[in-house]
Amino acid sequence: MHNVQSIRENLLNVELFNPEIIELIATNNWLNIWVPKQYNGLGLTFSEGLKILQTISKIDGSLGWFVTLCSGANYFSRNLIPSVAFELFSNQKTCFGGSGMIGGTAEKINDTYLINGLWHYATGAPYLTHFTLNAQVLENGQPLVDENNQPKILSFILDKSQVKLISTWKSMGMIATSSHSFEVVNQTVHQDYSFVYNTFFSDDLVDKIPFRVFADLTLLVNYIGMTEHFLEKSLEIITFSIKEKLQLFLNKTTLQLLDYAKQVEDLLLKNHTIEDDFLEEIHQFGTETVSALTTYILEIYPQLGIRASKLNEEINQIFRDFFTATQHRNFRQTFS
């Protein structure tokens, strides 16, 4: 299974990735695009990684989303002490994933933590080897505070054997991501398996990328890739007047996105500060891009006829995937 069409056929309306897809991901080492080379990762630059994620998202929405979110979680290899990172990533199939929410507590007991809680939307939950989570730290039953007098929060890595999956993912799209909830009950984790987002034990340029930019651009390439896929399949059904306009927009947007990534890399290479105004400019670019892509797809979809409404059609799956993925809070617009 090497060509794009066979991969897409393999992923049409499946609830879970089959072993062939998991092996494809491992063979290409896609989950380790941000993992340093010394930990068996690809150690790619920001721009290089974004190009790969967009290509995968154009193949299939669930595949691209899973690789994006879980390679993003594997990025935390950089936040772990080297001995732990070497241990966990000695296996190329190591797959981190979990939740960014604060869903539980971590009771400090000597050099360990007792973890309890419930977390939602763990992308790729059945495929994960390790779960990441954020928890409020307690000691002797009392909440601890950080240097800013705010509740102390730590992130943790747990083996999948310490986690109970709860089947909650019932969305219309992104079905194969299986983004279920998970629960942890009285599980002990050594302090070496805790980490802090902005503390790094590696020293690559990608370490210095602000999390907001990293999240914005890695998610945005997914929406662009899915729209490229939607345009391609739509043109197999009908020819419509805005095809050239949409293609030009996709090309222009991709170039702008990669230019932003290159600007970020250049600023960091020169040890310059990335100003908040520039971060906001990139985020606004992402918000406006997602809004424009949504408008294009909604203009095209009613022209595609009954075929596009059939659940067994690829075009229908792309439509459902896009409008599920765009519910992610990162670019979701709210109206009063």
Reduced 3-state DSSP string for 33-91: CCCCHHHCCCCCCHHHHHHHHHHHHHHCHHHHHHHHHHHHHHHHHHHCCHHHHHHHCCC
76 in Cβ contact with 100 (< 8 Å): no
Q: Is residue 201 in some structural domain?
A: no
Q: Is residue 336 in some structural domain?
A: no
HSE, side-chain direction, 13 A CA sphere, residue 68? 28
Looking at the fold, whether 75 and 101 belong to one and the same domain comes out as no
Looking at the fold, whether 174 and 221 belong to one and the same domain comes out as no
Looking at the fold, whether 225 and 282 belong to one and the same domain comes out as yes
Domain boundary among 79, 114, 141: 79
Looking at the fold, whether 254 and 301 belong to one and the same domain comes out as yes
Give the model's pLDDT for residue 198.
85
Q: Is residue 330 in some structural domain?
A: no
The sign one gets for the Cα dihedral 290, 291, 294, 296 is negative
Looking at the fold, whether 295 and 245 belong to one and the same domain comes out as yes
Looking at the fold, whether 65 and 125 belong to one and the same domain comes out as no
160 in Cβ contact with 130 (< 8 Å): yes
Number of domains in the chain: 3
The sign one gets for the Cα dihedral 98, 197, 331, 32 is negative
How far apart CA 322 and CA 211 sit, in angstroms, is 23
Domain boundary among 173, 195, 217: 195
User: Range of 282's domain?
Assistant: 209-325
Q: Measuring CA to CA, how many Å separate 316 from each of 21, 66, 73, 296?
A: 21, 19, 29, 15
Looking at the fold, whether 244 and 282 belong to one and the same domain comes out as yes
Q: Is residue 285 in some structural domain?
A: yes
Q: Is residue 172 in some structural domain?
A: yes
Q: Is residue 333 in some structural domain?
A: no
CATH at 290: 1.20.140
Looking at the fold, whether 176 and 122 belong to one and the same domain comes out as yes
Looking at the fold, whether 114 and 176 belong to one and the same domain comes out as yes
Looking at the fold, whether 174 and 119 belong to one and the same domain comes out as yes
Q: Is residue 102 in some structural domain?
A: yes
**What's the predicted TM-score (pTM) here?**
0.95
Looking at the fold, whether 214 and 315 belong to one and the same domain comes out as yes
Give the model's pLDDT for residue 335.
55
- Segment 252-257 long-range contacts (CB within 8 Å, at least 24 positions apart): 253/224, 253/289, 254/54, 254/224, 256/285, 257/50, 257/217, 257/220, 257/221, 257/224, 257/285, 257/289
**Regions in the chain scoring below 50 on pLDDT:** 336
Q: Is residue 144 in some structural domain?
A: yes
Looking at the fold, whether 174 and 227 belong to one and the same domain comes out as no
CATH at 109: 2.40.110.10
Domain boundary among 195, 222, 255: 195
